[in-house]
């Protein structure tokens, strides 16, 4: 039964986290549709988890829904406090494209947010950390 379910690879979708221009303690999380076509019913779950000083910590799970995200478009999802970079920050994305439901987890591990990992984020033309 499980072998009968087609699994298609997620391509041309990214999550980027870039420093905020307004507050040095916060960064902005962006969802990027790098496809040349629109996507629909985008559902994003975000959460942080891990250990700080030996204590297990989990943030509140936040959920976002976008009915439509245009081709080659970026959407600012949420601000994130830089204190949360001590945790793993997970973004689980689901969306419809060409009548198929896709999903993928993007996990920014602790230590990801250093200058050596910065890249130029397409569409928004800012420097930040991106997972494609």
Kindly report, residue by residue over 55-102, the tens digit of the pLDDT: 999 999 999 999 999 999 999 999 999 999 999 999 999 999 999 999
Q: Is residue 130 part of a domain?
A: no
pLDDT value at 8 more than 90: no
Could you list the residue range(s) of the whole structural domain that residue 38 is in? Answer: 7-124
Q: Is residue 132 part of a domain?
A: no
How many domains does the chain divide into? 1
Q: Is residue 129 part of a domain?
A: no
Q: Is residue 48 part of a domain?
A: yes
Q: Is residue 15 part of a domain?
A: yes
* Predicted local distance difference test score (pLDDT) of residue 1: 67
Q: Is residue 35 part of a domain?
A: yes
Q: Is residue 43 part of a domain?
A: yes
Please state whether the predicted TM-score (pTM) of the whole model is above 0.85: yes
Q: Is residue 1 part of a domain?
A: no
The CATH number given to whatever domain includes residue 88 is 2.60.40.10
DSSP 60-113: PPEEEEEEEE-TTEEEEEEEEEGGGGGSEEEEEEEEEETTEEEEEEEEE-TT--
pLDDT tens figures, 11-58:
999 999 999 988 989 999 999 999 999 999 999 999 999 998 889 999
């Amino acid at each position: 039964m499980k072998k009968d379910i087609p699994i298609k690879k997620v391509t041309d979708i990214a999550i980027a986290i870039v420093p905020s221009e307004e507050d040095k303690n916060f960064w902005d999380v962006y969802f990027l549709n790098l496809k040349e076509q629109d996507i629909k019913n985008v559902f994003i779950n975000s959460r942080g988890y891990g250990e700080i000083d030996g204590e297990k910590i989990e943030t509140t799970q936040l959920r976002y829904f976008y009915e439509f995200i245009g081709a080659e478009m970026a959407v600012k999802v949420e601000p994130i406090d830089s204190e949360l970079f001590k945790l793993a920050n997970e973004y689980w994305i689901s969306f419809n494209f060409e009548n198929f439901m896709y999903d993928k987890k993007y996990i920014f591990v602790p230590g990801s947010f250093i200058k050596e990992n910065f890249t130029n984020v397409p569409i928004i033309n800012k420097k930040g950390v991106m997972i494609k």
